[in-house]
Chain A
Amino acid sequence: MAFVSTTSVLFILFISISGKSIPNSYIENRINLIEREVDMQLGSELVLNDDEKLANEILMHWKQKEIEESFRNPQYFNFSKHYFDYKNDIPKSKVYQIIRGMPKGAVLHVHSSLMLSADRLLNLTYENNLYMCKNEIGDLQFRFSEDIPKWPCHTSWVLLSDLRSLGDATKFDESLKNYFTLFSGSSRGCDKIDINTIWRKFEKISNVISQLIIYRPVTEKFFYEALNEFYNDNIQYIEIRSGLKSLYELNGTVHDKLYMPRLYRDVAERFKRDHPDFVGVKLIVTRHRLKTDEEIRKTINLARQVKQEMPSFLAGFDLVGQEDLGRSLSDILPLLNEAKNDLKYYFHGGETNWYGTSTDENLFDAVLLGSKRIGHAYGLIKHPSLLMAVKQYDIALEVNVVSNAVLGLVHDVRNHPLATYLALGLPVVLSSDDPGVWGADPLSHDFYITFMGVASKRADLRLLKQLAINSIKYSTLDIKNKEALYSVFHTKWDVFIKQVLTLSTNL
């Protein structure tokens, strides 16, 4: 089967449906209109080479097959259900298997402490000298220590290894794992609870994990592991968001806040040395948006110091936490306005369903403060002036589909505004936010669900490639490193295309 362009497919479709009876002028107008739309779509500018065209046919064969089955049997269509209800079905999909093997470029919106899956985190609880404290309401505290920690604990500190050996270790580990993830096998309850409750659970998990990983030796292992998981999902470069935490040693020594970025940088360097086809990591320093001006100012100053000491490691600054409940950007404006010449901004903006609220207006401030990219930008579709501005000023939108579904913004992902962003050809990059917390792949699930559930049924390999290219294009790498990343990516891409071609016999 020779490759035919989308337009000619449309044309053929027409003729076969309608024979000669549709006037030529109508056909022309129709093709013209659809073509203009297709030309706008993200990925439409890419021209595929012959091998890519063949690979595209294979990919689209499976895509059309899966979608047509769902179209005919919407009761089995997964993407209109909760992510937790279909997550385990994803690996069966041929399209997913192809995407899994695809080099995806960079991940630009991910919170470092929430990168790692619950299973890997569980492994870290096997480290020696880990004490645990469980209070009356079941909240956990962790502390590595030579002796019983002196930290306050409502009940008592117990060595985790002792607890584990007391009874059924498997059971113990299962229950421990629940503290590291929102995923419990199904959506039971999850799709009924309100956004604040989901976020409370989410922040609790985040808090538990963070206690486990601020012990310096574990930080190193954790971060290396996390990079490895991402690397194995065919990701070549990462910009992590992270707060600056004080790491500590077994003897209780506490490091200053600049120690952590140094350690992250060193681990990333080591990972790069071990994996020459991995291009690296940069850091976006974050602070919780509920903090006071003074606390935020402190972090901004720390970020300035990180920049001075490791200019090539620091990407910029952002504020995190549930946007609806946190302070709005305009509330912190003087502070942010003051630092905007020193730090690049990558603000979360419009991660909300509330139209016309202060949260929603964060989008305006993100743009006006010169944010290089906007995190989520879920509410952007309701703001024509900003849609225009992000296109005009080429401000990338970091879209995280699975995150938005799990954190209660959208139920049926076909209603995600990303569909419109893709149709308008806006500068989108796909990312995964906190894949560890919901047990998603580092990036493949987000790509797959976007490709099958959000994008047009006709969107093809060009969209996928463009999304990967965008993640490089809108990264904060300098030109030299960007070129290095492109070169790694293209090499991997060619290998990937060859791999897909071997699947052709299964057509």
Chain B
Amino acid sequence: MRAVIFILFFYSVYASNIDEYFDKRYRILKSESRTSLGGNVTLNDKEAAVNICLMHYKFKEVDYWFDNPRYFNCSRHYFTYKQYIKTSKVYRIIQDMPKGAALHVHDMGLLGPHYLLNITYQDNLYVCFDNNLHLLFANAPPKSPCDGKWQLMNKARNSSNNITKFDADLRNHFTLFVKNPDTIYPSIRETWRAFMKFFITVQPMLSYRPIWEQYFYDALKRFKEDNIMYLEVRSILPNLYELDGTVYDPLVTAKTYKKVIKNFMKDHRDFLGAKLIYAPPRKVDRVKLEEYLELAKRIKQDMSDTFAGFDLVGQEDLGSPLIEFVPQLLESASELNYFFHAGETDWYGTLTDENLVDAVLLGAKRLGHAYALPKHPQVLNEVIKKDIGLEVNVISNAVLSLVRDIRNHPLSAFLAHGLPVVLSSDDPGVWEADPLSEDFYIAFVAVASRLSDLRLLKQLAINSLKYSALDSISKVDALRKFNYKWNEFIDNFDCSKYQN
């Protein structure tokens, strides 16, 4: 790994006396801290004061857990402790902190059940219940297959005996959250089934064009409220439709993105914008992939300023490995930037695991998850050499059954080695998480070192812009605007605000 510089410190390991021993010990610890992510950030006086407040509360929380591990939530399932996060002062500080960009999010997982349930109150939504929930906007009862009867949602709701219960049942379809996750999700199979079912349920409802536009606008708003200034959104680009059944080309979906982003930025001048990563399902054959790539190139041609690049999605273990598509992906590599999901798996030495190798060899600009990277020292070297951003999504990995005790997440090693990490949230709406604050919080108090401080948080925020797909001029501008926001946060920081 990156540790060559350390050898020096260990020459003549033995210290002759205690003072020398502790001196040596101090220097080694110091050098490790400098290597770790954020270790090179220098805080000015004002930042240092904020840091004191932040670390006061961090130590209080972490030390309490160290002494009372039965109250340490993050070794359990996220669903069992998410409600307690809100009471943390560290969390509230992080909420207020500008966090830069969210670079790994999927469009249909941006907003949670509350928002989705509200959509079901819109006119012209038809519903049909069989083993699944079917939702579709139309001006007449849809013909799409369903074992039940299509009826207007408002009618179904009003004719139900208990609207509260009706809505609560409906809401369950819009979230993975359950009170007893260990029973409901005993293995990755059950979690991913529920996860896929979520998308199958919401896609037809969301892809009604006016809803889609409003949804994405509101999603940007929600992210902005969580102090995020820029997004790169992965989309499968579903075909949008109108009430009369008109179905649009995916290119229209991409253009819709462009339009909404433009509108949003008009309304929110301090927002930096968003870009699109076209990320269709990976469980396809080469013929289908060819179509994907062609579409990607068309989008790029049509709207190069909004288009960031290409990726493939879906459970990596079950989809086609990248190696299957190498000839095609290699051919298009000069035209498309890649942001591949890779190594989102616990299976070491499998084809899934090797996606890391191909993602790097195909020249990916960033890797999605890269969960398996610590098992691949040479790929890790390439990541350092080519400065490939790692999009880490801690809560996602926990909810989707890769890791239970979050302290075992490989992110801790990534941070220790100072790898180019960006934190993101994947599908926060699906597990009812904040756009980004909860991921930052959990990474900060439970994955990172007890000792890592504001410098780590600042570096993570800076990284999210540094490793974005913005062109170099926009990046400079983005960093300038971030610094402005950051300084505002520092200047207005009031530790006493978090006392209660």
Chain A residues with a Cβ under 8 A of chain B: 14, 17-18, 21-23, 26, 29-30, 33-34, 36-37, 40, 71, 73-75, 77, 80, 193-197, 324, 330, 333-334, 337, 340, 353-357, 361, 364-365, 367-368, 370, 381-385, 387-389, 392-393, 409-412, 414-415, 417, 419-420, 423-424, 454-459
Contact = CB atoms under 8 A, between A and B. Distances in A.
Contacts of A357: 66, 450
A199 to B, nearest CB: 10
A273 B404 CA distance: 48
Contact of A365 (B25, B187, B416): B25
B140 interface: no
Nearest to B354: A34
Interface stretch (B275-283, B301-309, B369-377, B475-483): B369-377
B188 to A, nearest CB: 5
B7 A356 contact: no
B449 A356 contact: yes
A476 B2 CA distance: 31
B323 A14 contact: yes
Nearest to A457: B349
Given A40-B377, A388-B4, A367 B10 contact: yes
Given A18-B324, A357-B450, A33 B357 contact: yes
B13 A393 contact: yes
B9 A385 contact: yes
B374 to A, nearest CB: 4
B66 A354 contact: yes
A491 to B, nearest CB: 32
B346 A387 contact: no
Nearest to B72: A194
A412 B404 contact: yes
B14 interface: yes
A334 B18 contact: yes
Given A40-B377, A356-B450, A410 B187 contact: no
Interface in B340-377: 346-350, 353-354, 357-358, 360-361, 374-377
B379 A381 contact: no
B463 interface: no
Contacts of B10: 367, 385, 388-389, 392-393
Contact of B375 (A75, A196, A384, A423): A423
B298 interface: no
A333 B378 CA distance: 38
Given A30-B357, A40-B378, A381-B374, A355 B349 contact: no
Given A194-B70, A355-B447, A455-B348, 7 more contacts: A37-B376, A196-B69, A384-B2, A384-B6, A385-B6, A388-B3, A415-B404
Interface in B161-191: 186-190
Interface of B: 1-4, 6-7, 9-10, 13-15, 18, 21-22, 24-25, 28-29, 31-32, 35, 66, 68-70, 72, 75, 186-190, 317, 323-324, 326-327, 330, 346-350, 353-354, 357-358, 360-361, 374-379, 382, 401-405, 407-408, 412-413, 416-417, 447-452
25 contacts: A22-B326, A23-B330, A26-B361, A34-B378, A36-B378, A37-B378, A75-B189, A193-B70, A194-B75, A353-B408, A354-B450, A356-B450, A357-B450, A381-B413, A385-B6, A385-B10, A388-B7, A388-B10, A409-B405, A411-B403, A412-B346, A424-B1, A455-B348, A457-B348, A458-B349
A505 B243 CA distance: 66
A14 B323 CA distance: 8
Contacts of A381: 374, 412-413, 416
Contacts of A356: 448-452
Contacts of B1: 384, 387-388, 424
B21 to A, nearest CB: 6
A195 B35 CA distance: 30
A74 B188 contact: yes
Contacts of B25: 330, 364-365, 368
